[in-house]
Amino acid sequence: MRGIERAATMVLLVSRHSNTSPHVLREVEQAIRVAHPIFPLFLEDVRLSKRLDYYIAPIHWLHLASASLEQHATTLTRAIQRDDAWKENGSPPTFARTLRFRPLSTLSVAFAAAMLVGVVLLSGAWLMYHRERGVEQATIDRSPYSLGYVSISSAEATNASPAALRLSGAA
């Protein structure tokens, strides 16, 4: 722990073994506690454990498969020297990276959120549709031409008196 406290940065070599190691997790926690920057270098494609993902998800990563070790050494040197140009070679926190490397529970949360948004949008559309129909119906109900309208046939109209026609609203 003293070595981590004395260091300026931490390069985290991520493999399937380090991903599940409680010792590596404690070292990462210690580096974060003393506010050291962490530079994850993925040696292989690994779906991160939830605890390690918590610490390194919001930072740029380097993937050994994306470039040679010499190129990554140059990139890490620039990163440690606080040259932000190193991020051009890194993998920024993106949705695609989330789908590829994060635990499956992230996918289920994203799916649930998408379903919730869909339900809210459909409910809103349904309410707007029925609200517009309700406004149309209210307009029809308040129309003076639709109040008291009675349909009569032409035979009834010829036999009815003009006063009866006025009362029924047909005149």
pLDDT band at 27 (very low <50, low <70, confident <90, very high): very high
Model pTM score:
0.51
Distance CA 148, CA 163 (A): 15
Q: List, for residues 38-81, the tens digit of each pLDDT value.
A: 888 888 888 888 888 888 887 777 777 777 778 778 877 877 78
Q: Domain 2-102, CATH 3.40.50 — does that match?
A: yes
The whole-angstrom separation of Cα 41 and Cα 15 is: 9
- Helix/strand/coil for 35: coil
d(CA 105, CA 130): 37
Considering the chain, tell me which residue range(s) the CATH 3.40.50 domain(s) occupy.
2-102
| CA–CA gap between residue 38 and residue 35 (Å, rounded) | 9
What is the spatial distance between Cα 152 and Cα 119, in angstroms, rounded to a whole number? 48
